[in-house]
Chain A
């Protein structure tokens, strides 16, 4: 069975969705219940800045891969891209 390598990005996309939802819940908690001091604000800022920085570097690594390359899923040669016919 041959599929594009980009199929590996599906779990990442699903996890990113989960990550964003959890982050928004946490940030909402901090904004709602800790707005009376600056600690909550700085925690949100550091978390968002850290996440953005990490995703920026991750994007740099991800974009260097050719995700359109076909992948042959079989028991033998699972770690190879099929050569063009």
Chain B
């Protein structure tokens, strides 16, 4: 599936930004994988020092081996699922619309979109030590619709993004006024 197919791109529409969460926000998952992967190694040395019979037993050794294999495959699969969730969370900004695609779980996917000319207010925030150091944060987009705010989570350079979306919204508003399309 191409991007154009995914968002059902209109003829006059061009992609301006394609955003994902800042890569640094995926770092905790990598660290968690490393910590979880280190636990059996620690347990191996613990058992070797305190219960050496467990690692040489005719039943306990195969049982622990199988348990270890299942454990490592489980954390690998968990990590991959987290990556898919991170990677498929996507915000696409065109000169006409903002499309938010969120992979919330393995079987839960949300696609939302709003017309740029309907944007009333945009707020960007960078809160915390790591967001400030790595320059990522949230952008909230308020429209007149009842659905409330559109939330771009942990996107890179949120303040600059806010300005660019504002400019695009202004251009789109002028276009809709000129063509008489849309309720402005």
Q: Cβ of A22 and Cβ of B106 under 8 Å apart?
A: yes
Chain A residues numbered 6-26 whose CB sits less than 8 Å from any CB in chain B: 8-9, 11-12, 15-16, 19, 22-23, 25-26
Output the least CB separation between B10 and chain A (Å).
Answer: 17
Q: Cβ of A9 and Cβ of B66 under 8 Å apart?
A: yes
Given known A-B contacts A29-B103, A51-B76, A11 and B88 have beta carbons under 8 A apart: no
Q: Cβ of B77 and Cβ of A22 under 8 Å apart?
A: yes
Q: Cβ of A47 and Cβ of B80 under 8 Å apart?
A: yes
Task: Indicate which residue in A8, A26, A35 contacts B81 across the interface (CB closer than 8 Å).
Answer: A26
Does B87 interact with chain A (Cβ within 8 Å)? yes
Given known A-B contacts A12-B66, A40-B87, A54 and B60 have beta carbons under 8 A apart: no
Does A58 interact with chain B (Cβ within 8 Å)? yes
The number of chain B residues with a CB under 8 A from chain A is 31
Interface size grouping (class) on chain A: 35 or more
Q: Cβ of B65 and Cβ of A65 under 8 Å apart?
A: yes
Task: Indicate which residue in B59, B80, B84, B103 contacts A80 across the interface (CB closer than 8 Å).
Answer: B59
Specify the chain A residue showing the minimal Cβ separation from B78: A22
Specify the chain B residue showing the minimal Cβ separation from A62: B65
CA distance A18 to B181 in the complex (A): 52
Does B182 interact with chain A (Cβ within 8 Å)? no
A9, A33, A35, A71, most chain B CB atoms within 10 A: A33
Q: Cβ of B3 and Cβ of A36 under 8 Å apart?
A: yes
Flag the segment in B42-50, B67-75, B120-128, B165-173 that touches A.
B67-75
B binding-site residues for A, Cβ under 8 Å: 1-3, 6, 53, 57-63, 65-66, 69-70, 72-74, 76-77, 80-81, 83-84, 87-88, 101, 103, 106, 109
Q: 14 A-B contacts, Cβ less than 8 Å apart?
A: A5-B62, A8-B63, A9-B66, A15-B74, A16-B73, A22-B77, A26-B106, A30-B84, A30-B88, A36-B3, A43-B87, A65-B62, A65-B65, A71-B59
A binding-site residues for B, Cβ under 8 Å: 5, 8-9, 11-12, 15-16, 19, 22-23, 25-26, 29-30, 32-36, 39-40, 43, 47, 50-51, 54, 58, 61-62, 65, 67, 69, 71, 78-81
Cβ-closest 10 pairs across A and B: A79-B57, A36-B3, A81-B58, A58-B69, A26-B84, A15-B70, A12-B66, A47-B80, A79-B60, A79-B59
